[in-house]
């Protein structure tokens, strides 16, 4: 695991290339991981029109007890295990190519982490007003934080937590 680096983020418009980049990377990963692994496209690039950092986020779910078995397999695919940018029970991996970045969030299938990430993505996809509100929060966070990823995540996480609490009522 590498030391934490400060990453500067810039807000970018949604790119149609995101879906295709996800599909290619999912296919590459799927060939090298066990069949029990589930892979979902999450994050801003999974929501048409949202915009954000233009990083492809993959949520990889494995059964309880299988997390450790997959760390080396994911690392062998060119991903670096990193300190998670969020205080959660996810393992976080990053792969940087010349013009693309991929993040893997490795979690237990059907865990709270898995459910919340999928739920929030699905809410953004299905609710135009929520998507617009979240887009404003993201844009303002990017402007206010001047590229500081940690500050930006804190601002966005407040919005996400509020929505997830509302939805779970």
Domains of the chain by residue range: 17-162
**d(C-alpha 32, C-alpha 35), whole Å:** 9
**According to the model, what pLDDT value does residue 126 have?**
97
Question: What number is the average pLDDT over the span 106-123?
Answer: 95
For the chain, where are the alpha helices, taking DSSP H only? 17-30, 67-75, 112-126, 128-145, 149-167
Which among 80, 103, 107, 100 has a CA at the least distance from the CA of 153?
Answer: 103
For the segment 56-101, what is each residue's pLDDT rounded down to a tens digit? Answer: 999 999 999 999 899 999 999 999 999 766 656 789 999 999 889 9
What's the chain's Rg over C-alpha atoms?
Answer: 15
Domain 17-162: which topology?
A: Beta Polymerase; domain 2 (3.30.460)
**d(C-alpha 169, C-alpha 162), whole Å:** 11
Residue 6's pLDDT band (boundaries 50, 70, 90)?
Answer: low
Question: What number is the average pLDDT over the span 19-41?
Answer: 97
Query: What's the pTM?
Result: 0.89
**d(C-alpha 121, C-alpha 133), whole Å:** 14
For the segment 31-43, what is each residue's pLDDT rounded down to a tens digit? Answer: 999 999 999 999 9
**According to the model, what pLDDT value does residue 9 have?**
63
């Amino acid at each position: 695991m590498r030391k934490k680096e400060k990453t500067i983020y810039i807000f970018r418009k949604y790119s149609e290339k995101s879906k295709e980049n996800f599909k290619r990377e999912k296919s590459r990963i799927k060939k090298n991981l066990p069949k029990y692994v589930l892979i979902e496209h999450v994050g801003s690039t999974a929501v048409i029109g949202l915009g954000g950092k233009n990083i492809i986020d993959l949520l990889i779910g494995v059964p309880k007890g299988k997390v450790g078995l997959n760390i080396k397999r994911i690392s062998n695919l060119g991903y670096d295990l990193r300190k998670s940018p969020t205080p959660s029970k996810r393992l976080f991996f990053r792969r940087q190519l010349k013009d693309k970045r991929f993040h893997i969030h490795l979690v237990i299938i059907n865990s709270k982490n898995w459910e919340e990430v999928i739920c929030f993505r699905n809410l953004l996809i299905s609710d135009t007003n929520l998507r617009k509100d979240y887009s404003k929060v993201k844009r303002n966070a990017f402007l206010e934080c001047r590229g500081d990823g940690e500050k930006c995540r804190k601002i966005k996480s407040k919005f996400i937590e509020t929505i997830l609490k509302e939805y779970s009522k």
